[in-house]
């Protein structure tokens, strides 16, 4: 058992493991479809090969000797056509895997070994097995590889060996044929005597026959292993893509690519500048008091889907879900030339997504949702936290904290978006001081932000009167504490 496992690992790879049942079922169905497509390709190439062989026979052999080979060519063509009809997915049967390869190899072997009735001066029978006739069996063996079925290649190899053995014994039993062992003393013969012994057209050597069978078997074995290896590489690739797909459920696509390439469990720590965005629903706790748990989860999934889509459309990184909100970053894991612009575009897209959702909720006479967004730009630290058994890709630093505070400040400021001056400065650099992106924003005097010693100028997008949220009693306890403890009445330039 251990030896078989070692051979399996050598062929398939040590990390080739079984897939989950659902993945294995899909892979089996996909292989069945691909095997039929490979069979169609192999049969198509068979028709091309048979046409070339028919042309070669017609040109190389005088008439009517070539007539002997046309029935075999036609039989091989009909065999391929029947396989296309019978070996479809859902109608393929195990007995077909044996019958057709045996028939095909038998036709090739018969064409090689059987005497040509149209040849009035036939050559000695052993010469039929000489020249390059064994290559025709090898050719049909190689065509079986296109079916992407290791079983078919293995069966074709067995059929080729059996047919060549039968052809060899048939020729050996013909009158006048001399069966001689490969005597080691032949090498000691004088040159002329050795050439005479080796070139005798009526002599057959056991050693030569065995050597051809071994070579035919080795070729088939290598082709079988190649097909097995190829199929397992596909399975491993599917497993890798499945793992990457699962990883992408927790991270943005390009972050998943970054983590998939990371060999060190904890990885390197990076420091760079990025835009950090927090988005949250206002008064969500009160809203869910009248909803069932199923309705609450369904609403959260829909909100998260729209917010995440806005982030991914701008090539941002969805760092984490925060209950009824998200944290996203732009410029991670690698900074770009328009990170601030992408963050603001994502914020606008989030607002549009929630407005569309509110339009649907209005038709069902459900209260509208109110989204609060805070964005800051500055230095951040990126890296894996945890241990070698479980890690989490984290984005930390004062920039993250400030962005979170800005999102919380929208409540008392009666704003839907709150931007830091550092973010606006970066945005102006990217848009070359074009004020268009800030057309609906209002600049406020420096405001105190909890955790910072100095006050910070901020920009807000005022919330429409009809959309104004209730005061702090609508907020969660932590939100109410932050809003009440951090902000005086704002002043506007």
The pLDDT, as a whole number, for residue 49 is 93
pLDDT bin (cut points 50, 70, 90) of residue 487 is: very low
Three-state DSSP state, 393: strand
Question: Do 227 and 349 belong to one domain?
Answer: no
Does position 350 have pLDDT exceeding 80, yes or no? yes
**Any domain includes 449:** yes
- Which CATH number do you get for residue 347? 3.30.70.1230
Question: Do 241 and 282 belong to one domain?
Answer: no
CA triplet 231, 232, 237: central angle to 5 degrees? 100
Q: Which of 110-119, 220-229, 370-379, 385-394 is predicted with the least confidence, judged by mean pLDDT?
A: 385-394
Distance CA 466, CA 366 (A): 15
Question: Do 373 and 234 belong to one domain?
Answer: no
User: Structure pTM?
Assistant: 0.52
Place of tokens 């078997």: 217
**Any domain includes 83:** yes
CA–CA distance from 165 to each of 141, 161, 315 (Å)? 16, 6, 65
**Which range of residues forms the domain containing residue 346?**
254-486
**Tokens at residue 33, please?**
């479809």
Question: Do 202 and 295 belong to one domain?
Answer: no
Does position 8 have pLDDT exceeding 60, yes or no? no
Question: Do 22 and 145 belong to one domain?
Answer: yes
Question: Do 241 and 263 belong to one domain?
Answer: no
More confident site: 264 or 191: 191
- Total number of domains constituting the chain: 2
**Any domain includes 25:** yes
pLDDT 10s digits, 390-442: 666 778 899 999 999 999 999 989 999 999 999 999 999 999 998 888 989 99
The pLDDT, as a whole number, for residue 63 is 82
Beta bridge pairs of residue 492:
444
Question: Do 95 and 137 belong to one domain?
Answer: yes
**Any domain includes 167:** yes
Question: Do 35 and 142 belong to one domain?
Answer: yes
Q: Which of 67-71, 206-210, 286-290, 454-458 is predicted with the least confidence, judged by mean pLDDT?
A: 206-210
CA–CA distance from 61 to each of 28, 49, 67, 172 (Å)? 47, 18, 9, 25
Final residue of a structural domain among 225, 247, 269: 247
**Any domain includes 36:** yes
**Any domain includes 491:** no
Q: Which of 38-42, 145-149, 374-378, 395-399 is predicted with the least confidence, judged by mean pLDDT?
A: 145-149
Question: Do 209 and 272 belong to one domain?
Answer: no
**Any domain includes 493:** no
pLDDT 10s digits, 124-137: 888 888 767 888 88
Question: Do 190 and 309 belong to one domain?
Answer: no
**Any domain includes 492:** no
Question: Do 243 and 264 belong to one domain?
Answer: no
Question: Do 170 and 264 belong to one domain?
Answer: no
Final residue of a structural domain among 197, 223, 247: 247
**Tokens at residue 183, please?**
């005597």
Annotate 208-245 with DSSP letters as a single string: HHHHHHHHHHHHHHHHHHHHHHHHHHHHHHHHHHHHHH
The pLDDT, as a whole number, for residue 27 is 61
Sort 131 into a burial class: Cβ within 10 Å, 0-12 / 13-18 / 19+. Answer: exposed
Highest mean pLDDT of the ranges 141-150, 180-189, 221-230, 322-331: 322-331
The pLDDT, as a whole number, for residue 12 is 47
Final residue of a structural domain among 212, 247, 282: 247
pLDDT 10s digits, 272-326: 999 999 999 998 888 888 888 899 999 999 999 999 999 988 989 888 888 889 9
The pLDDT, as a whole number, for residue 15 is 44
pLDDT bin (cut points 50, 70, 90) of residue 492 is: very low
């Amino acid at each position: 058992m251990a030896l078989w496992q070692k051979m399996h690992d050598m062929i398939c790879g040590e990390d080739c493991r079984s897939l989950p049942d659902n993945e294995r079922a899909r892979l089996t169905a996909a292989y069945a479809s691909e095997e039929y497509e490979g069979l169609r390709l192999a049969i198509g190439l068979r028709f091309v090969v048979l046409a070339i062989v028919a042309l070669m026979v017609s040109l190389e052999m005088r008439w009517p000797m070539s007539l002997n080979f046309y029935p075999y060519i036609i039989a091989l063509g009909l065999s391929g056509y029947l396989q296309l009809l019978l070996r479809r997915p859902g109608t393929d049967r195990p007995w077909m895997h044996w019958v057709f390869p045996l028939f095909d190899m038998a036709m090739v072997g018969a064409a090689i070994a059987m005497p040509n009735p149209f040849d009035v001066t036939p050559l000695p029978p052993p010469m039929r097995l000489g020249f390059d006739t064994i290559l025709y069996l090898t050719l049909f063996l190689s065509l079986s590889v296109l079916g992407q079925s290791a079983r078919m290649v293995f069966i074709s190899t067995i059929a080729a060996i059996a047919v060549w053995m039968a052809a060899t014994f048939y020729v050996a039993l013909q009158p006048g044929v001399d069966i001689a062992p490969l005597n080691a003393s032949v090498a000691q013969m004088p040159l002329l005597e050795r050439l005479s012994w080796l070139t005798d057209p009526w002599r057959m050597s056991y050693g030569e026959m065995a050597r051809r069978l071994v070579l035919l078997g080795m070729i088939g074995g290598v082709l079988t292993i190649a097909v097995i290896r190829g199929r397992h590489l596909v399975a491993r690739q599917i497993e890798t893509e499945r793992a990457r797909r699962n990883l992408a459920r927790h991270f943005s696509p390009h972050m998943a690519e970054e983590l998939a390439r990371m060999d060190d469990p904890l990885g390197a720590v990076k420091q760079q500048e990025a835009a950090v965005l927090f988005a949250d629903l206002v008064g969500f706790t009160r809203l869910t008091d009248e909803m069932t748990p199923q309705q609450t989860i369904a609403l959260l999934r829909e909100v998260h889907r729209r917010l995440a889509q806005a982030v991914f459309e701008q090539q941002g990184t969805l760092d984490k879900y925060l209950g009824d909100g998200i944290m996203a970053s732009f410029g991670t894991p690698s900074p770009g030339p328009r990170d601030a612009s992408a963050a603001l575009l994502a914020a606008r897209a989030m607002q549009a997504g929630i407005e569309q959702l509110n339009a649907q909720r209005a038709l069902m006479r459900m209260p509208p949702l109110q989204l609060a967004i805070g964005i800051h730009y500055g230095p951040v630290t990126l890296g894996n936290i945890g241990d070698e058994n479980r890690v989490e890709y984290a984005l930390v630093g004062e920039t993250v904290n400030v962005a979170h505070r800005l999102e919380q400040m929208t409540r008392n400021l009666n704003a839907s978006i709150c931007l830091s001056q550092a973010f606006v400065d970066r945005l102006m650099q990217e848009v070359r001081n074009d004020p268009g992106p800030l057309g609906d924003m209002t600049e406020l005097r420096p405001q105190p932000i909890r955790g910072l010693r100095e006050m910070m100028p901020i920009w807000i997008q005022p919330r429409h009167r009809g959309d104004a949220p209730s005061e702090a009693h609508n907020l969660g306890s932590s939100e109410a504490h932050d809003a009440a403890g951090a902000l005086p009445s704002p002043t506007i330039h």
